[in-house]
Structure 1
Amino acid sequence: MARSKLSTLASPVTGKSYEPMTPKHFSFNSPYGACPACSGLGQRPVFDEELMVSDPDRSLEQGVILPWTKGGARMVSHYNGFSRRWWCITG
C-alpha cells in the first residue's frame, strides 16, 4: 500500500498529487523547472522610483527622470517633446 502512495506522488497530509519528476523539472529553460516568481531568470523586474526620479520637486524639463537626462541634447529634446504631446492627450 505504501508503494502505491509513493508512486502517485500525493501528499498524505493535503492529498494534493504531483506529476512524476522528469529532467524538464530541473531545467531553468523549461517552464516546468523555472521558478514561478521569476520565470527562471533569478530576478523579478521591479520598478524602483528612487532610481528613476532624481528630485520629485523638479519638472520634466528640469531633469526629474534620470534616464532622460542621458543621451545628449537631442534625446532630452525628444523625451520632452514626447511628454508635452502625452500631456496634451491625457491632461
Structure 2
Amino acid sequence: MVVGPRTFTGDLLRRVGLANVYADAAERYPHAEVTDIDGSGADVILLPDEPYVFTADDGPEAFTTPTRLVSGRLITWYGPSLIEAHHQLSC
C-alpha cells in the first residue's frame, strides 16, 4: 500500500515540497507491488517506521531507488510533530 491522493500524509508531503508519484491514483491508499514502486520514477522512497514493520522483501533492501526511513509520527500524526516534520522533510 502507498499513500495516494486526499490523505493527510499526501498533503503534508506536498506542503513541504515533495511530489508524490501516486498523487493521481484513484484510491487514497492504492495497493502497489514493490517492483511498481521501485519503477515509479520516484527520486526517493519514504518508509515510515509505523504502523507497518518492513521486512527484507519490502523494506529498504528491496528497492534500487534510494530509500529513507522516517518516523511515522512525523508524516501521519497531526499536532506538534508537524514542526519537526517540516524541518526534516523540507526540500
TM-score (normalised: structure 1): 0.18
Larger radius of gyration: 1
Q: Which has the higher strand share?
A: 2
Q: Which has the higher helix share?
A: 1
